[in-house]
Amino acid sequence: MTTMRLQKLREEVLEANLELVRRGLVLYTFGNASGISRENGRIAIKPSGVPYENLKPEHIVLTDLEGRVVEGDLRPSSDLPTHVELYRHFPGIGGISHTHSEFATAWAQAALPIPCLGTTHADYFHGPVPVTPALTETEIADDYERNTGLAICRVVERLGPEEVPAVLVAGHAPFCWGPSSAEAAHHAVILEFVARMAYHTLLIKADAGPLAAELQTLPP
Amino acid sequence: MTTMRLQKLREEVLEANLELVRRGLVLYTFGNASGISRENGRIAIKPSGVPYENLKPEHIVLTDLEGRVVEGDLRPSSDLPTHVELYRHFPGIGGISHTHSEFATAWAQAALPIPCLGTTHADYFHGPVPVTPALTETEIADDYERNTGLAICRVVERLGPEEVPAVLVAGHAPFCWGPSSAEAAHHAVILEFVARMAYHTLLIKADAGPLAAELQTLPP
Amino acid sequence: MTTMRLQKLREEVLEANLELVRRGLVLYTFGNASGISRENGRIAIKPSGVPYENLKPEHIVLTDLEGRVVEGDLRPSSDLPTHVELYRHFPGIGGISHTHSEFATAWAQAALPIPCLGTTHADYFHGPVPVTPALTETEIADDYERNTGLAICRVVERLGPEEVPAVLVAGHAPFCWGPSSAEAAHHAVILEFVARMAYHTLLIKADAGPLAAELQTLPP
Amino acid sequence: MTTMRLQKLREEVLEANLELVRRGLVLYTFGNASGISRENGRIAIKPSGVPYENLKPEHIVLTDLEGRVVEGDLRPSSDLPTHVELYRHFPGIGGISHTHSEFATAWAQAALPIPCLGTTHADYFHGPVPVTPALTETEIADDYERNTGLAICRVVERLGPEEVPAVLVAGHAPFCWGPSSAEAAHHAVILEFVARMAYHTLLIKADAGPLAAELQTLPP
């Protein structure tokens, strides 16, 4: 039973990773998606450095909620500690995706939130997509990936993980999440799309105002 | 006879929806195209949330001119009330398309008309592509989709639906139309293309002037 | 002999038109390429409005050097009078291409020459790609296509058709040429590429200087 | 033994050239990759002007370390003298790639280094990607390709070829390198990606600061 459930989780996580590729969000082995089985206390995550075209369910690494590998011969993605912090802080999160997708990453590099300029954005993110503060020298030197996770968690605690299912890590790239790894990947795709459109909008009109508050909170 | 005519309408509407996909104007299930049989008093529109790759003629929903479903097991696109208003106000309109295509949506988010900067634009739109005013709080809260349709209609009444077969909805995205759903989809494709080129033109030269009035009104 | 030579010309012109499609320079039926047989006094040009995917050698229209149709059941491209003027003024031109390719058209809409900012550009165009002045009201009303050709010719007379095998028509789009229709299409592809890169360069650095004169005149 | 080793080198160099095509970095026959066998004193480089789709291992030209053709019926890429200078100055370089990829070339045309704005960039280039000074009139007239190589070498001598495996040649385009031709091509792909993202970042925020020094020097 557990075996079957974890096998299914691995397949879902594989599929979420492949969705990132199909939608043009990853270059080479960049990016990763994970999922969690809270019943089994297991996180399933993409291994590090395996080309997506060779990825099979058995390559997906299983860890416990501390990020210790439990099953799998491969090294988990180096971003695992960031995923772990998010899963530990927010019980509602069932899957996480991380990409260096072109426009969302540009906003992260600019260290600016993506403003909510239209209904496409509002239907998914209900307001600006926030950005973490820059990490301190100590946070970088100490444990960059874990401290990245903690920085994201501090931002999300203010907003709620359902309200804005994505955060930009300043100088790095976005992390997204959702009830499942499929929805985490879906949010990464939408995020890239609204990041492109916000970019174009502000190049058309530098002082484009945010969408009316009423539209930001419309039910989808 | 009626059955055959409505079956043909469904097939045409399906094909118009697929054209939006083929031309790269839609992400996931975004966007929709519809057509009308005025003889039969029927609107045919894409259902809500069905992936385009699975869409078949029998999924296309038929409604009356009030937007009440007459045939079809699926929910019509949530933008139906906007389509309905356009069909009711302008008897010459035979088809409508709505997308969140990247550059046309960016102009809509900037709440600026797309200026007519070249003959590519002028051959189809004969002047700037207008943008609606922002909806009021009451219009948003009351019936967003229907009030969006009314806002478009007020803009089109000034210009005539043949003169400019597209309007940008401020903070949302474009709507296009034509004598048939095929031509409505065709206008959506051209609109995205001229939206891209106007964007590039203004980034090259912020004060690029409009095309000479004589060229804006040249016969195609 | 004449028949074979003209048949070959039609095939070459078809192939040049298809190259514009393969390289992403055309939307729908936009654009056209032509070739000339000076021995036979014949111009071969794409017909108007035929989808590229259906285009066959027998659809290519043959005209005399006044632009009168000599063979072919279809209407020649409406830009034919522009092609005719170029062929008549410059005996060295063997083929012409015209597209509304995205970035070259944006420069034409901005009514600005494309500055020569790098060796990619210099290897083909040996200096800025010039732009025509805007046509007068009379020139537009009188015979827009022919007057467009004359405006291009006046620009090319200053520079020589081998020196800069492309001109932007202000508010419209580029025309390119070469010893054959294949080379005219090739120049349209390179022009679009250097138009993109000049655009990006100037957005990176608004006052990017032109390439050193020595490099603009280097042999390819 | 030598024959087998050189045959393998040719195959690797062919593969590196094809990777540039697959990743969208080349138009027509633009660009080239090479590799070196230091044991055999041989450089293997793409021939000039052969379409990539026809390229076979036997077309790859073998030269000595002075750039004199030793094996192969085709002319080596005209950029060979630039490659030769890099191989001679830096014994650790095993492969070199050169493209006119769109965004890296735009930075080269702007004659500006690509700033290090995010971890994607820092993981590969550990700081800004430098740009050569403009060549003098004499350097251009004398031996452009060789002097380009010397200009790159002077920049690399300050930084070390492992620290920043890429340099932009002002007014021209990037050169990249690595321990093998495969890694040189890989760096060209990453360079184009970070060039795009730096461009977008600075258009979002003109004064976007560089990434924290600690992150620029993080182990990959």
The verdict on a CB contact (< 8 Å) between B120 and C100 is yes
Do residue B171 and residue A197 have CB atoms under 8 angstroms apart?
Answer: no
pLDDT band, residue D135 (cuts 50/70/90): very high
pLDDT of residue B215: 82
Mean per-residue pLDDT for A139-167?
94
Which pLDDT does position A217 carry in this prediction? 64
What is the three-state SS of chain C? Answer: CHHHHHHHHHHHHHHHHHHHHHCCCCCCCCCEEEEEECCCCEEEECECCCCHHHCCHHHCEEECCCCCEEECCCCECCCHHHHHHHHHHCCCCCEEEECCCHHHHHHHHHCCCECCCCHHHHHHHCCCECECCCCCHHHHHHHHHHHHHHHHHHHHHHHCCCCCCEEECCCCCEEEEECCHHHHHHHHHHHHHHHHHHHHHHHHCCCCCCCCHHHHCCCC
What is the DSSP secondary-structure string of A40-94?
Answer: TTEEEEPBSS--GGG--GGGSEEE-TT--EEE-SSPBPTTHHHHHHHHHH-TT--
**Residue C41: partners with Cβ closer than 8 Å, 6 or more residues away:** C64, C65
Q: Which of C186, C201, C214 sits opposite D140 (nearest CB)?
A: C214
Number of C-beta neighbours around residue D44 at 10 A: 30
Q: Would you say A145 and A67 are in contact if contact means Cβ atoms under 8 Å apart?
A: no
Q: How close does chain D come to C201, measured CA to CA in Å?
A: 5
Mean pLDDT (chain D) is 95
Q: What is the pLDDT of residues B33-88, one digit of tens each?
A: 999 999 999 999 999 989 999 999 999 999 999 999 999 899 999 999 999 999 99
- Tell me how far apart the alpha carbons of residues A50 and C67 are, in angstroms, rounded to a whole number: 61
pLDDT band at D220 (very low <50, low <70, confident <90, very high): very low
> Within a 10 A sphere around the Cβ of C39, how many other Cβ atoms?
10
Instruction: Please tell me which chains touch A, using 3 or more CB pairs under 8 Å as the contact test.
Output: B, D
Give the residue from chain C lying closest to D49, CA to CA. C220
Burial of B218 (0-12, 13-18, 19+ CB in 10 A): middle
Tell me what pLDDT residue B220 has: 43
Tokens matching residue D189: 């792909």
How far is residue A1's CA from residue A15's CA, in Å, rounded to a whole number? Answer: 21
Interface partners of chain D (CB pairs < 8 Å, 3 or more) are A, C
Query: For residue C220, what pLDDT is reported?
Result: 43
Predicted ipTM of the assembly? 0.95
* pLDDT < 70 stretches in chain C: 217-220
Interface of B with A (CB under 8 A): 27-28, 30, 100, 102-103, 105-112, 134-135, 137, 140-141, 144, 171-173, 199, 202-203
CA-based nearest distance B172→chain A, Å: 5
Determine the Cα–Cα distance for residues C15 and B171; give it in Å rounded to an integer: 44
Among the partner residues D111, D144, D199, nearest to C218 by beta-carbon distance: D144
Q: How far apart are CA D158 and CA D146, in angstroms?
A: 19
Interface of A with D (CB under 8 A): 27-28, 30, 100, 102-103, 105-112, 134-135, 137, 140-141, 144, 171-173, 199, 202-203
What is the residue-averaged pLDDT of chain B?
95
CB contact under 8 A, C208 and D111: yes
How many CB atoms within 10 Å of residue A213?
12
The pLDDT-based confidence of D217 (bands split at 50, 70, 90) is: low
pLDDT digits (tens, 9 = 90+) for A69-86: 999 899 999 999 999 999
Mean pLDDT of chain A: 95
Q: Using the predicted structure, report yes or no on whether residue A220 has a pLDDT greater than 50.
A: no
Separation between Cα atoms, residue D131 and residue D170, nearest integer Å: 6
Q: How far apart are CA C59 and CA B183, in angstroms?
A: 25
Q: Are strands B42-45 and B32-37 parallel, antiparallel or unpaired?
A: antiparallel
| Whether C171 and B201 lie within 8 Å, measured CB to CB | no
CB B68 within 8 A of CB B55: no
Identify which of A201, A214, A218 has the shortest CB distance to residue B109. Answer: A201
pLDDT at residue number D180:
98
Strand partners, C97: C33, C176
Tens digits of residue pLDDT in A170-179: 999 999 999 9
- Say yes or no to pLDDT of A95 above 80: yes
